[in-house]
Amino acid sequence: KKTFLAPERLHKPSHFTESCNRRITNKKMGTLGRAIYTVGNWIRGTGQALDRVGSLLQGSHRIEEHLSRHRTLMNVFDKSPLVDKDVFVAPGASVIGDVQIGKGSSIWYGCVLRGDVNNISVGSGTNIQDNTLVHVAKTNISGKVLPTLIGDNVTVGHSAVIHGCTVEDDAFVGMGATLLDGVVVEKHAMVAAGSLVKQNTRIPSGEVWGGNPAKFMRKLTDEEVEYISQSAKNYINLAQIHASENSKSFDQIEVERALRKKYARKDEDYDSMLGITREIPAELILPDNVLPGGKPAPKVPTTQYF
């Protein structure tokens, strides 16, 4: 007979598992370490017990809070992400396992880079945009073991899927494109939005491929080559802005919210009649490098940009 556990029990550690974990912990710690660990367990247990009692006292009005298990950077056993300090990994993104990301790259909201059965390498200055999935292949129909290699200054559009393939430097992958195992996108090549690139396809440098399945469409123009380069630079700048915004404290956010509210109601005609000149605080001025070509931000109320 086979015994099946109810789904809710699969996520709860058994007493046997807990005791095994305690034995492993005790072997790794000295006497002082075990004592501190035990005290920590008592304190945590007391806090959990108090929380349960408080919830019972609240009766039908109680709201049970559950700890979020999401981790932006997560190990898989001994495989851990290696991310440069200048990389922006957005809250809500997941970088898991054997993943290496170079300087100035950005991993945007909702992305998943899962290097569990193989490795993922992302170069410098590359942007992987919102909701993109990057995975690897341990085995496939051709019997090849395939990591995913993404070069420098690559732009990967929103909601793309990149699986066990290679995207070389200065390449462009459009929004919603899917690249299957063994695909190679050469330097200065472009995959059009919504395309499906079949296994083991090579897209030569300087060409645009698109469709389902993707086929050669035309050669890249000089303007498009320049656009690919500029797109990578724009996202490096934009990532710095988002990283700065995400690092702000609650107090900073509240102060800026009050300032934006104040300047949103500013009546320029009324001020001019009174001869009043009001300058927008520096913290509310859009940084120059966000705008195309690095043009200075116009002197208008900042609320237009938020």
Do 97 and 114 meet the contact criterion of CB atoms below 8 Å apart?
yes
Name beta bridge partners: 74. 96
- pLDDT value for 96: 94
How many whole angstroms separate alpha carbon 172 and alpha carbon 193? 10
In Å, what is the CA distance from 262 to each residue of 134, 233, 234, 273, 282? 43, 33, 30, 19, 14
Instruction: Kindly state the tokens that stand for 34.
Output: 């075990």
Instruction: Kindly state the tokens that stand for 130.
Output: 């919102």
- pLDDT value for 7: 43
Predicted TM-score (pTM) of this structure: 0.69
Q: Domains (ranges, CATH) in the chain? A: 73-223 (2.160.10.10)
Q: What is the CA radius of gyration of the chain?
A: 26
Q: Which long-range contacts (CB under 8 A, 24 or more apart) does 183-186 make?
A: none
Helices (H), 3-151: 7-10, 15-28, 31-58
Per-residue pLDDT of the chain (306 residues; tens, 9 = 90+): 444 444 444 444 455 555 555 555 555 567 788 888 888 889 988 988 888 888 888 887 777 777 777 889 999 888 999 999 999 999 999 999 999 999 999 999 999 999 998 999 999 999 999 999 999 988 777 677 789 999 999 999 999 999 999 999 999 999 999 999 999 999 999 999 999 999 999 999 999 999 999 999 999 999 999 999 899 999 998 998 899 888 888 888 888 788 777 766 666 676 667 666 666 666 556 665 555 454 444 333 333 322
- pLDDT value for 305: 28
Our measurement of the distance from residue 170's CA atom to the centroid of its chain's CA atoms, rounded to an integer in Å, reads 20
Do 154 and 231 meet the contact criterion of CB atoms below 8 Å apart?
no
* Burial class for 116, CB neighbours closer than 10 Å (0-12, 13-18, 19+): middle
